[in-house]
Amino acid sequence: MESRSIKKGFIGWLALVIAISAGAEARAQTELSLRKAIEMALEHSYSYAAAGADSISAYYDYRSAKALRYPSLSLNANAFYTDEVQEIVTPLAAIAMGAHENYSAELKLWLPLYSGGRISNQIKMQNRQYKIKSDIYEAQRLSTAWSTRRGYLSVLQAEAVAAVATASYNRIEIIRADIENLYRNGVADSLDLLEAESSLGRTEKTRIERISAFRNAELLLGKLIGWETDQDILLNEGLNEPEEKENYLWGDDSTGYRNRPELKALKSRTELSKSFYSLNKAGYFPSLNGFTSYVYGKPNKDLTGNSWNDYLVFGLNLSWEFNLGFKTKQNVSSSRYQIRVSELNLKETEESLQLAAKVARNNLEMALESFRISKREYAIAESKYRLSMQRHKAGKLSSNRALEMEEELTSAEESLKISLLNYYLAEADYLYAIASPRIYGGL
C-alpha cells in the first residue's frame, strides 16, 4: 500500500492538474513537442517578422542601387503661348523670331560611362546593408528559438518540482496515517500527531506554490508561442539523463562562436564603412555620362518658321565639382575613422562572444557534474527513507525522525529534478552561444 501511494507522486503533471482543478470544467489539452513549440514561436514572433520585413526591404534597396548602372530614359513636354514675339524689320517685310504657340517634346536617354566609383560603391553599400539586415534576421531567429527553448524547459522544470511536492504530500499523508495507528496502539502520543499535521500543512502550502509557479511558467511559454488561452499545454518531450546520450557532441566553443549572426553582421558593417569611405573618395573624380535626345516640336530648330519638325542629338556630359572648403577631404577623413570604429566594435564583440561560449561550456560541464552528484544523493536518500519507514512501522523510529527522512527525500528528489533541467537549460545556453542548428530541434 505504501509503495503504491508513493508512486502516485511521480505521475505526470496531468494528474497533478486534475487533482488541483477538481470540480472545475475540463479544458482542452494538446501535446506539444519542443521542435513544434519553436516553430510556433517563430510564426508568432512580431520581432522576427519585423526583422524579416526589414531584410526584404534592404534587398529591394540593393536592387535599386544596381539599377544605377542601367540607362535612364526621360520624357519632357512643354506647351505655351507668347503674346509678343520679337521681329526683325526689313524694307521688304517683318520677320518673326519665333511663334506665339510653342510646342516641344524631348525624349532623352542617359547612360553612365564613368562615375569615379560612385555607382559601384553605392551598390556595395546596399549589398552590405542587405547582408546586415539578413544577419539581424537570423539573429532574431536564433534568439527566439533560444528563449522558447528555455521557456519550454522552465515549464518542464516547474512541472517536475510540482510533481515532487505532490509526491511529498502523499508520503506525509502515509506517515500521518501510520502515526494515527501507532497512537491508537499507545506507541505514539498527541505531540506526534500534531507534528504530522503541521508537516502536512507545510507540504500542502509548498504544493500549491509549486503548482502556481508551474501555471505561471506555462503562461509565459504560451505568450511566446501564441497559445490559445482555453487550452492546456501538454509537453511531451522526454528528458533523457545526460549519461544515456550516445555519440553526443557539444561542439567546439573555440570556433563555434564565429557562427553567431551578430558577429557576421558586424563584419558586414565593417565592409559597409569601407565602401562608404570609397564612396567619399569618389568625390575627387569627375563623372561622365553619354546621352542622346530626340526633340519634336513647333517651332523647333527653325526659329523663324512655324512648322512641326524634329532633330536628334548625341553628346557627352562631364561633371566635376570642386568645393573650396575641402568638403570631400573632410568626408574622407571622417569615413576613415568610421572604419576604425567598426573594426574595434567587431573585435570587442568577437571577444565577448568567445568568452560567452567558454562560460556556457563551463556551466554545461558544471551542470552535468551537479546532476551526477544529485543522482547519487537521491539514491542514498531514497534508501534511507525506505529503511526508516520500515523501522517506523515497527515502532523503532520516532515520528519526528520519520518526518525528517521524508523531508530529506523530498529535498533530494527536488534537487535531482532541478539539476536535470538545469543541465538542459545550460545546454540551451551553450547551443545559443555557438549558434548550433541543434537549438531548433528537440532534446
pLDDT band at 18 (very low <50, low <70, confident <90, very high): very low
Which residue has better confidence, 417 or 65? 65
Please give the pLDDT value at position 230: 59
pLDDT tens digit sequence for 284-319: 999 999 999 999 988 776 666 677 888 899 999 999
Task: Say if strands 287-298 and 101-114 run parallel, antiparallel, or are unpaired.
Answer: antiparallel
Residue 168 carries which side chain, given as an amino acid letter? S
Cell of 309: 519638325
As a 3-state breakdown, the chain gives helix, strand, coil percent values, each rounded to 5, of: 65, 15, 20
Query: Would the pLDDT of 269 be above 60?
Result: yes
Query: Would the pLDDT of 41 be above 60?
Result: yes
Mean pLDDT, rounded, of the chain: 81
Please give the pLDDT value at position 28: 52
Is 148 within 8 Å of 224 (Cβ atoms)?
yes
Q: Which residue is it, cell 570609397?
A: 278
Q: Which of 173-182, 242-251, 327-336 has the highest mean pLDDT?
A: 327-336
Query: Would the pLDDT of 195 be above 80?
Result: no
pLDDT tens digit sequence for 200-251: 778 788 888 888 888 888 888 888 888 865 566 677 777 777 764 543 445 5
Rounded CA-CA distance 286/263 in Å is: 37
pLDDT tens digit sequence for 365-386: 899 888 888 888 888 888 887 8
Is 52 within 8 Å of 103 (Cβ atoms)?
no
Among the ranges given (24-38, 49-63, 135-149), the one the predictor scored with the smallest mean pLDDT:
24-38
Please give the pLDDT value at position 166: 78
- CA-based nearest residue to 441, from 430, 428, 429: 428
Please give the pLDDT value at position 410: 73
Please give the pLDDT value at position 318: 92
| pTM check: above 0.75 | yes
What is the SS3 assignment for 127? helix
Residue 156 carries which side chain, given as an amino acid letter? L
Cell of 30: 494538446
Q: Which residue is it, cell 506665339?
A: 100
Distance between alpha carbon 188 and the CA centroid of its chain, in Å? Answer: 60
Please give the pLDDT value at position 294: 92
DSSP bridge pairs for 47? none
- CA-based nearest residue to 160, from 219, 226, 237: 237
What is the SS3 assignment for 285? coil
Cell of 351: 571577444
pLDDT tens digit sequence for 128-173: 999 999 999 999 999 999 999 999 998 888 888 887 777 777 777 7
Is 70 within 8 Å of 252 (Cβ atoms)?
no
